[in-house]
Structure 1
């Protein structure tokens, strides 16, 4: 009988140890679950480096990539300041020449450039009677190959799709081709490069329209 209280004491200590072990295991399980949950959340959001890179990516760089994937015709059509040039390319059938893989260099006159033409010439550009001459005029703004501003050297002679020659003049940060100055150079496209210019490059015989 004297041993009975001793046995009860041992039994009580054993129960305390079992309870303590269960609590410790539950705590470890909870911590492990929390760690796993955090890892899953991080994986779902992507690596930290990738998130940082995405945060640093500017809208401009995304837009540049989108523009570069467009064709020359798409970029010309998307520019409201080239609407007359775009319209003439399509009406005269010259747009077909720019639908290939190229590459091509296009010197695109702005709206102000067309307004600067003599009235008689500007009026006749829309006439079907002068379709072939208009084609020659438009082809005088197309050059085979992809020529960025860094490719253009002072004094270089460029041969256009119309068979005429244009001389390049570079002074400081200005580039002149024929009698026209570049306004917005190096518009990259999937099949070439687009430069906007401030004058229409009219060959001598087309000037008599």
Structure 2
């Protein structure tokens, strides 16, 4: 009679094992179910957008990836239509900033843009005695952060490294910053983005050069 409890206990263990073996293989614990539901939520709520910085640095083409490995200064130096801008950056000591980590947004005036300046102003840009004012002029073309044309919203106010404000205006396919229109947008680099513009953004106090 003493063996009966042991037999019953053994029988109960066997039944538990059989029941466990009959369960579907994908049976999950409460924690596993919650985790899986979280994964399903990501999959069913639509695609997860990449972070903006990643999307901009690697737009999806081999050419874009190659360009993005170069600094802003590299891009300026390699563009013959920005030779005056590059020369002033070097002489005024602002070029080093464009080799830094950043990121920066650079509004680079073309050769034609500099030719439109008054002779009195253009002739004095290379003068050593105006170095600090030229630095202010150049810094008025540099904005902290990486701002592509898709980031620039109509009516937005941008503060330049010189401390001045520039208003953004977007009309159809044209983007205007201050009184300058972007001619070649979104030149991606490792430390920012460069937009080629058709005017020199001269702060009021620099007009006295």
Q: Give the TM-score taking structure 2 as reference length.
A: 0.70
1:192 counterpart = 2:201:
no
**CA RMSD between the two structures:** 1.1
Q: What is the aligned length? A: 150
Q: Secondary structure at the match of 2:199?
A: coil
Partner in structure 2 of residue 140 of structure 1:
140
1:102-139 deviation line (CA, Å, top 9, x unaligned): 00000000000000000010000000010000000000
**Cα distance, 1:62 vs structure 2:** 3.3
**Cα distance, 1:208 vs structure 2:** 1.3
**Cα distance, 1:193 vs structure 2:** 0.1
Stretch deviating more after TM superposition (96-105 or 180-189): 96-105
Q: Give the TM-score taking structure 1 as reference length.
A: 0.70
Partner in structure 1 of residue 76 of structure 2:
76
| Separation in 1, partners of 2:88, 2:183 | 20
| Separation in 2, partners of 1:207, 1:191 | 30
1:121-164 deviation line (CA, Å, top 9, x unaligned): 00000000100000000000000000000000000000000000
Structure 1 segments, 4+ long, off by >4 Å, are none
**Cα distance, 1:98 vs structure 2:** 1.4
Q: Secondary structure at the match of 1:112?
A: helix
Structure showing the higher helix proportion among its residues: 1
Consecutive unaligned residues of structure 2, counting only runs of 5 or more, are 1-60
| Separation in 2, partners of 1:90, 1:70 | 18
Partner in structure 2 of residue 125 of structure 1:
125
Q: Secondary structure at the match of 2:90?
A: helix
Consecutive unaligned residues of structure 1, counting only runs of 5 or more, are 1-60
1:113 counterpart = 2:110:
no
Stretch deviating more after TM superposition (65-74 or 149-158): 65-74
The structure with the larger Rg is 1
| Separation in 1, partners of 2:99, 2:188 | 15
